[in-house]
Every structure is written in C-alpha cells, then in structure tokens.
Amino acid sequence: INAKKKIAQHNSLMAKNRSLSIAKASADRNKTSNISSTHRTLKEGKVSDESSSPTVQSDEKIYLVIAGQLIVEEEKCNIAQLDLGTGSWNLTQRIQLSLYNSYNGGEVYSLLANYSHPIDSTITIPDRSHINRSNINYSNFKSATAQIEGGENKRSSTGGELLVVGAFDTTFQNSQITYCSVGKWDGKALSKLGEGLCNSALSKGMKITSAALAGPHDVYVAGSFSTRVWNGDKFVKIFNIAHYNAADQVWLPLGVGQLTCSWCIVTVFALAFDSKKRQLHVAGKFNAIDGRNVPAGLAIYDLNHGRLLAHPGGGVSMKNIAEDGVGTALQIDEDAGILYVMGSFERLTATRQLCAGMAAYEIGKMRW
C-alpha cells in the first residue's frame, strides 16, 4: 500500500476515533513490547487546539511517539517514533535511557505536550486558557510559533516538544548529561528542562510519575523524590512536587505545604491543573500535609495563595474508612467543571458513599 493510501486509510480511522488501535496494530507488527505509556499522534505543522483529531493532508508527516520499556526492531529503547504514513519505525531516533546504580535501565512514566512560549514583549501570545491541555493529543515537532503584530511569524526556541518524565538520569548516547528524570523530546533528541533539580546528595535517580502545565511558562512535576535547589538566596528543599518556571529557568518547591504519610512512602501519581481557578489537583499515596492528617489520596495546590491544602472534596478510602485509599489518575473537564478521579479506593470520605475506583467531582458545586 503506497503512502497516499495509508494516509487516506488513517484519516478514515481517525474519524472513528480509532488512532490507538492503529498504534497497537503497528506496534504488534513491529514486535514492540512492554508499552507502559503512550502519547498519541504528533504532526508537523499547526498545533491543533482541539481534542479531536484534525484532518490529515497528504504532505504532512504524522508520528506516534510511544514511551516506556520497549523493544523496537529487536533493539531495547525507552522512546520510539512511528511514521503513520509509511508504517515504519524511525530507527535513528530510538532513545535508550539509563538510571545510575541500576541494571534495569531508565523508565518513562508519562508524556505531556508542551505548549509553552518564551517571554518576549514583541510577541502576542494567544489566550488558550480555556483548553483542557491534558486532553490534547497533538504537538508540533517544529518549534511553536506565535503571531507578531507586524504580521510575521517568529519561531520560538521553546514549546512544541513533549515533556518526558520517569526514572532516568541520562542516555547511553550522551552519558555526561544528567536529566534528573525530566526532559524535552522534539522528535529528534532529548534535551534538559532547566538546571538544578538534582543534587549530588541523591543516592539514586528521581522517580517522577506525572507532569502538568499551569500557564504559558509554568510546569509542575511530581512523583516520589526529595532534593535541594538554589533559589537565588539559599538552598531550599523540594519534596515530591517541583515547579519549573520557564521565564526564569528555575526549579522551585511549592510555596507552603509538604505531603506526608503516617504509614507509607509518599508518591504522587497524577496532577491536573484547573486554569479557571488556578488550582493544581494532586492524587497519590499520602494522608497528611506537614504532618497534620488530611483525607487520604487527594490534595490541592492553590496557586493564588501558594498553599498546599486538603482537597475540598475530601479524600478516598477503602470500605473500612480507617483504611486509606490511593488516587492514581486524574482528568479534568474544565468546560463541564468536573474532575474525574481514579485509583485504588472503595469509598469517598466526605460522603462515605461506596464508589469502586472511579468518581466524578463537580468543582463549582463542590459535590461528588
């Protein structure tokens, strides 16, 4: 089947919202195994602001990026790229990650489309605050562009990449670069996101499980880690959630508040940003903030006040409400004002209602 027929076939399948089926079939044919996380389709050209898939033109290249612990064409890798037009893997862009003091290599837990823009007073940045970015499946491999008042386009040095988070220190290709478990993938190479998130006191690599954009210049990453960073005046500690500001190119801790747990090692599994209320929803394994008990599994970071707080919807538990539940995934629908929570739980602590593993929270009405 020639390339045009493949693209026409792809358009038909995309219209039926079956892009993941294509990915699975292609991966099976090429002996790809152990897929742990997928970022769907990326295309060269205009960044789509819609959650649905755009029509594919015959002169556009569309790639599927898959990350995890993989074997592609009989070679191990952690990031692989499939050309959906030709159905072939890009073997020159396979990235294998390394974790210091580990024989198993690095891992990728999540991919996130980066739509950030640089600070530039001559550039008019379009307002995209209404977009539910966690639903967007498309990213531009070319640098993102912003409209200048004179009518020309200026190419940005940031934006358009995929943010890659996981447990990795470096790559086998350039082993002297330390990524601290977070990097930027532009379709050709992995680059660092800022400096200073790691410090020499770390015994092993950092485990970062999720990331969320919070505006045009702010990224939050979370997982299970601790480190220290220089804030311009002194060293400050970061526990499990870190904030990167692209304008200042610095990593910082949350303003006030630290997740703790009376019986477990704190791990944040998911983040979801509400751009309307400027609040970052947090899900994971924890039951306290700064040592004070809060309902387990859920918390919220209020960017307006710079504080980490107990979630207004309470937390999650098992049938025995004394047994803590764990939040493992979040999805926010800003248009509907609903936060979807998934995880290992059987009851909502606020209402004591039985709810097995999935719940919907109405943010405006503050009710489940």
Residue-wise pLDDT tens digits, 11-43: 554 444 334 333 334 444 443 333 333 333 333
- Residue pair 317/354 in contact by the 8 Å Cβ criterion: no
User: Which pLDDT belongs to residue 33?
Assistant: 36
User: Which pLDDT belongs to residue 197?
Assistant: 84
User: Which pLDDT belongs to residue 116?
Assistant: 55
User: Which pLDDT belongs to residue 9?
Assistant: 54
pLDDT at 365 over 90: yes
pLDDT at 96 over 80: yes
Task: Write the DSSP assignment of 51-92 as a string of letters.
Answer: SSPPPPPTT--EEEEEEEEEEETTEEEEEEEEETTTTEE-GG
pLDDT at 87 over 80: yes
Which of 6-15, 60-69, 193-202 tops mean pLDDT?
A: 60-69
User: Which pLDDT belongs to residue 302?
Assistant: 97
What are the residues whose beta carbons fall under 8 Å from the beta carbon of 148, sequence distance 6 or more?
Answer: 122, 123, 124, 154
Angle CA 7–59–25, to nearest 5: 25
Residues in the chain: 368
| 270 compared with 193, residue with greater pLDDT | 270
pLDDT at 135 over 70: no
| 263 compared with 38, residue with greater pLDDT | 263
Average pLDDT on 75-95 reads 91
Which of 51-60, 239-248, 308-317 tops mean pLDDT?
A: 308-317
Residue-wise pLDDT tens digits, 149-201: 222 333 334 456 899 999 998 887 667 788 889 999 988 889 998 887 886 55
Average pLDDT value over all residues in the chain: 77
pLDDT at 48 over 50: no
Residue-wise pLDDT tens digits, 332-363: 999 999 999 999 999 999 999 999 999 999 99
Task: Write the DSSP assignment of 146-215 as a string of letters.
Answer: EEETTS-EEE-SSSSSEEEEEE-SEESSSTT---TTEEEE-SS-EEE-SS-S--TT-SS--EEEEEEE-S
pLDDT at 221 over 80: yes
User: Which pLDDT belongs to residue 8?
Assistant: 56
User: Which pLDDT belongs to residue 258?
Assistant: 97
Selection from 267, 199, 203 nearest residue 227 by Cα: 199
